[in-house]
Structure 1
Amino acid sequence: GSEDFCYMLEQRPGCYFLLGQADDAHQAAAHDTNYDFNDAILPMGASLLVRLVERRLSAAGAS
């Protein structure tokens, strides 16, 4: 993967990760004219981000 996110990371700490979304109906890669975002993964992605924040806040409070 290649995005302009690297420029943001030069200014602030962060990370870049990929969340797979392929299933029988969603096989096209991003930037393909047939690409269709798999809305079914939205709860999984939101949950992942919430858990990352919770862990970070928990670790900050333990210090």
Structure 2
Amino acid sequence: MTRIETTRVREVLGMNITEVKRAAETLNSESDLQELERHLTELEKAVAQLRSSVGGLPFKHSE
């Protein structure tokens, strides 16, 4: 990858990681089950997006 490509990849991964962290911060043991389920769904979507970004990188990775 070129330097520009590497910078862009890091930028995208950084945004994905920030979204995962943001979603994780909403989890709270004091939440009712419906609210907790909603927050978990948001976290799962953020993790799926991050996995998709990492999975598209041109390197060997373990599953």
TM (norm. structure 1) is 0.35
Structure with greater contact order relative to length (CA < 8 Å, sep ≥ 6): 2
Higher helix share: 2
